[in-house]
């Protein structure tokens, strides 16, 4: 029996979603919890691989449980798993899915959100949840720059290098928007898929546009250069949340 899981977690204390040699991963904790419930070692396959310190509200994964051990219903599986998980990881929902379903390869889109607290004093309730940017930001310039990201582009200038190769650095974004509620800025970035640290590269660049360090009109040129050195900084991991993964 195959189950689709929706998972939320605070990534502060983890080395990312995927198993790491250098620290505890979210995937590891969930598979350990499965090991408390089932005798067969089970592997959880995720829709994304969030980095160390990145959070999730809508991570999607799937797990296959042998028929002989499938004694838990979809409604009871989250309760049983959460009983063996630390408080900063929660299985929000579980549902039966078709045998062909794959959390990663069937995903049609992802939405990330990034929080920035733009005030001289940090909001203590948002520590490890938002990037504290003290300097005043030009929101009009940032929004002008943000409008240049949606569409199909080569995002090599905004992605970090990694120890695995990707076939293409071209990705399609459907939304890049900035909302403001007092000092709290929320960047909403949606697309078919993302490169390694791509969202953080976009947000870091937009913040530097707001600081006057990069002109909004430069974004198109930065995309064309396909060089990470041409773009702005990478925003810190702790402000980023995998908000939602979409399927047909």
* Active site (annotated) includes residue 51: yes
Which string of DSSP letters, residue by residue, matches 210-237?
Answer: HTTSS-GGGHHHHHHHT-GGGS-PPPPG
Query: Quick one: how many helices (H) and strands (E) in the chain?
Result: 5, 10
CA proximity to 159, closest of 125, 183, 186, 191:
191
Q: Which of 10, 51, 138, 154 is catalytic?
A: 51
3-state secondary structure string, 48-68? CCCCCCCEEEEEEEEEECCHH
Chain-centroid distance of CA 13 in Å reads 16
Please state, as a whole number, how many other Cβ atoms lie within 10 Å of the Cβ of residue 157: 24
Alpha helix stretches (DSSP H) within 41-166? 77-82, 139-146
Q: Which residues are known to be catalytic?
A: 51
């Amino acid at each position: 029996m195959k189950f689709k899981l929706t998972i939320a977690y605070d990534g502060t204390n983890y080395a990312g979603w995927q198993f790491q040699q250098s620290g505890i991963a979210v995937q590891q904790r969930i598979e350990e919890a499965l090991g408390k419930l089932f005798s067969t070692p089970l592997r959880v396959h995720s829709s994304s691989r969030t980095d160390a310190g990145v959070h999730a509200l809508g991570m999607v994964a799937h797990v296959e449980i042998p028929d002989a051990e499938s004694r838990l219903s979809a409604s009871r599986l989250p309760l049983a798993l959460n009983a063996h998980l630390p408080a900063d990881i929660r299985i929000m929902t579980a549902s039966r899915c078709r045998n062909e379903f794959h959390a990663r390869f069937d995903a049609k889109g992802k939405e990330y959100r990034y929080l920035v607290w733009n005030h001289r004093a940090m909001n203590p309730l948002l520590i490890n949840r938002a990037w504290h940017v003290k300097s005043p930001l030009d929101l009009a310039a940032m929004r002008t720059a943000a409008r240049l990201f949606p569409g199909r582009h080569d995002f090599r200038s905004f992605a970090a290098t990694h120890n695995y190769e990707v076939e293409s650095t071209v990705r399609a974004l459907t939304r890049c928007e900035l909302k403001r509620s007092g000092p709290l800025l929320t960047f909403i970035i949606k697309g078919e898929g993302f490169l390694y640290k791509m969202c953080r590269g976009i947000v870091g660049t937009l913040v530097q546009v707001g600081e006057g360090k990069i002109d909004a009109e430069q974004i198109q040129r930065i995309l064309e250069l396909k060089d990470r050195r041409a773009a702005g900084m990478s925003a810190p991991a702790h402000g980023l949340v995998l908000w939602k993964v979409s399927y047909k």
